[in-house]
Amino acid sequence: MSTLKIAVAGASGRMGRMLIEAVQEADDMVLAGALDVAGSVSLGSDAAAFLGTPAGVLIESDLAKALAGVDVLIDFTRPEGTLQHVAYCAQHGVKMIIGTTGLEQEHKDAIAAAAAKTAIMLSPNMSVGVNVTMKLLEMAAKSFAEGYDIEIIEAHHRHKVDAPSGTALKMGEVIAGALGRKLDDVAVYAREGITGARDPSSIGFAAIRGGDIVGDHTVLFAGIGERIEITHKSSSRVTYAHGSLRAARFLADKQNGLFDMQDVLGLK
């Protein structure tokens, strides 16, 4: 496989820097572009300067400059920025890995349309462990289809702006799909006051925000006389970076199409 030329969006952020470090350490990849928002104090600086070993790649806000000659853009930013990047990448044949959360259905539809022109891997969580957990949840849901109440509890750091997390919502979609339901029809996102008895077909969500929690997710299957809990806990964002590089390798020979981490890991 030839060396993949990688660009990173949100290059001066926590996740962006984690991605840059991972690319710099990879033998089969090279950092070829770095993006940040207009007005960022990091614009014009070397994207890898924080590592003490400059990459010779300046952080840009101009898409044409940042993505010139790039094979894959990795994007963990905000929906509005991601949609701008998707439109440009589709037009210029740049592949994308999208880990942005908080996407509405209209955003997902735009990404799916762009995937007709370029290869895109979209996942709310790039962690290999999380995506294996998704498969376990699918299996568990089919076995616990009757007589078990399902609740999803997630915890993240105080700076996270969306809730429930994209990962929690994806878990809900996987479970609902395994049960032959649509998440929109059965999800319960808040409980307060006199709520009445629990609808046995519902999937409940609870979100916790505090401190520097990277990301904890637990799915509770509560039956009569027993509870089954399937939990994944992240202690570092490095798992998301490593999963993203694995996804970039997967996209290397793809011309177009919309994929997720289940495709990357061969779990479908």
Q: Is the pLDDT of residue 178 over 70?
A: yes
Q: Is 232 a catalytic residue?
A: no
CA-nearest of 207, 251, 239 to 15 is 239
For residue 55, give the CATH number of its domain: 3.40.50.720
Q: Is the pLDDT of residue 124 over 80?
A: yes
Could you tell me the sign of the dihedral formed by the alpha carbons of 155, 192, 166, 185, in that order? positive
Q: Is the pLDDT of residue 92 over 90?
A: yes
- Mean pLDDT to the nearest integer, 186-198: 96
Specify the pLDDT at position 1: 58
Model pLDDT for residues 143-166, shown as the tens digit of each residue: 999 999 999 999 999 999 999 998
Domain with 66, as residue range(s), is 4-122+237-264
Give CA–CA dist 82/161, Å, rounded: 16
* Given the residues 92, 135, 160, 254, the one annotated as active site: 160
Task: Report the chain's terminal Cα–Cα distance, integer Å.
Answer: 24
268 pLDDT band, cuts 50/70/90, is confident
Specify the pLDDT at position 93: 96
Q: Which two tokens stand for residue 5?
A: 């030329």
Q: Which two tokens stand for residue 264?
A: 């990357």
- Mean pLDDT to the nearest integer, 202-229: 97
Does residue 25 sit in the same domain as residue 114?
Answer: yes
Count of domains for the chain = 2
CA-nearest of 35, 28, 264 to 131 is 264
For residue 161, give the CATH number of its domain: 3.30.360.10
Q: What is the mean pLDDT of the chain?
A: 96
* Given the residues 95, 156, 232, 242, the one annotated as active site: 156
Specify the pLDDT at position 97: 98
Q: Is 160 a catalytic residue?
A: yes
Peptide bond into 164 cis (omega under 30): yes
CA-nearest of 245, 222, 219 to 233 is 219
